[in-house]
Structure 1
Amino acid sequence: MAADYEVQMLNKGSDGDTMVFEPAFLQIQPGDTVTFVPTDKGHNAESIKDLIPEGGTEFKGKINEQISVTFDVPGAYAYKCLPHFGMGMVGLIVVGDDPANLADIENAKVPPKAAEEFAELTAMIGQ
């Protein structure tokens, strides 16, 4: 019974923040699918190299392209909008209940605004 989730790529989120994925955090189960929807133009969704679990599948959507990804390997998957990465347009998907690679994301060398966002997103795990 796999579930399907949808993440919007937005210029402005419901909380007023700009350049966001909404929701930016998902906790899902292995086999679930997430569809990234370019609600506003000029965005993409792609995994961040070395910030997905070992054995996890990397993904990279084109600008203005809807992309669906099925997550089979448990762990934490950090992703970004390439054009707006420096502005903190990142998201986190946790597959399963115990993301073994979480420290990789918490200690990642990413732009300062993205690091702030990841700190907020990792604090949501298990809540």
Structure 2
Amino acid sequence: MFPKLVVATGLAVMMASSAMAETFEIQMLNKGSDGSPMVFEPAYVKLMPGDTLKFVAADRGHNAESIKDRSPEGSGEFKGKINEEIEVTFEVEGWYAIQCKPHFAMGMVMAVEVGDADVPEDFLEGRLPRRAKDRLEAAIASAQ
């Protein structure tokens, strides 16, 4: 009887934690609510491990993908197709930078914070288009 109780308890915990996970929609837009061109809206989100982002292709010509070397170690990368929705579940705590590949140089990026993590010192270092860097800085500042 005891082993069944352990299994049942383990299943209940797993079901409760997955039930608490949330899905948040991110719009991929040609023009944001403030008039800015080529944006993810919102440009910053804070998640808990296990939460999911659903990137909605509200306007044509966009995708969502991780920016190389701007995700926590062990989190893996993702790449959505142009004009298609993609859902990504974030399990690893830390900061993530997301881009729309066709509009990266125009600054179409967003920042995702999972858990309570400090922004890595090198998060904005290296090669980033100026507009992308400016928008990531603004997204990080909105988190503070």
Same fold (TM > 0.5): yes
Alignment of 1:1-127 (within 5 A): 1-99=20-118, 102-125=120-143, 127=144
Larger RCO (CA within 8 A; separation ≥ 6)? 1
Contact 1:105 1:118 in 2 (8 A): no
User: How many residues are matched?
Assistant: 125
Percent of pairs with identical residues: 55
Greater helix share, structure number? 2
Letter in 2 for 1:79: I
TM-score w.r.t. length of structure 1: 0.94
Unpaired stretches in structure 1, ≥5 consecutive residues: none
Unpaired stretches in structure 2, ≥5 consecutive residues: 1-19
Q: Of the two, which has the highest radius of gyration?
A: 2
Give me the CA root mean square deviation: 1.1
